[in-house]
Amino acid sequence: MKSKIALAFIAFILFASFTFAAPINVAVGATVTASHGNASGSVPGNLADGSRSSFSQIYGNNYGWWQFDLNAVYTVNSAHYEGLTSFYLFPQYKIYAKLNLSDSWNLIVSVTNNATISNDHTFAPVTARYWLFEAWSNYVHPAWSELELYQSAVPEPSVFLLLSLGIFMLFARKSLL
């Protein structure tokens, strides 16, 4: 009977005591290239600088794409698109990913009839190094602020779990003696 109670206690502690690490924006510091020329001071790299106050703007077309090289392979399960203002709204955009440069792009997110400048997307985990943001704008010179790509959260044991296991080990040792 005591062993069943002890096993139940251990199972409770193990499953109830895990916390999840805060998601990490793996796009910060990525190398970003754009489909065509950018406005002065609004380089593509601004989309991966970790600041929603900077932006990237390209000239000459209401369509454009930005490619992100994360410089390493990450497993990502959510993305945040941050627009600039409603004037530069992207009514349609797509997010693609691929593991190797020579691979074909895989569509991850497709948005049509978008009416907001900020969107969060959650999807099945994707392992990739390269990401592509493709957009169609209402304005001839599309501009936006940030693409954030979040690594899947990893469970971590909490301090409570470690203390509980230590206390359990003390009691288990006394009962064995």
pLDDT of residue 102: 97
Mean pLDDT of the chain: 84
DSSP states of 111-164 as a string?
Answer: E-S---SEEEEEEEEEEEEEEEEEEE-SSSS-EEEEEEEEEPP-EEE-HHHHHH
Please give the Cα distance from 142 to 155 (Å, whole number): 39
Residue ranges of domains in the chain, CATH in brackets: 22-153 (2.60.120.260)
pLDDT for the residue numbered 155: 59
| Whether the Cβ atoms of residue 94 and residue 134 lie closer than 8 Å to each other | yes
Q: Does the structure show a pLDDT above 70 at 132?
A: yes
Is the per-residue pLDDT at 89 higher than 70? yes
Task: Compute the 3-state secondary structure of the chain and give helix, strand, coil in percent, each to the nearest 5.
Answer: 25, 45, 35
Q: Which residue has the higher pLDDT, 112 or 88?
A: 112
- pLDDT, one tens digit per residue, over 14-59 is 555 556 677 899 999 999 999 988 877 789 999 999 999 899 988 8
pLDDT band at 153 (very low <50, low <70, confident <90, very high): low
Residue 141: its pLDDT value, please?
82
Provide mean pLDDT across the span 94-103: 97
pLDDT category of residue 113 using cuts at 50, 70 and 90: very high
Residue 61: helix, strand or coil by DSSP? Answer: coil
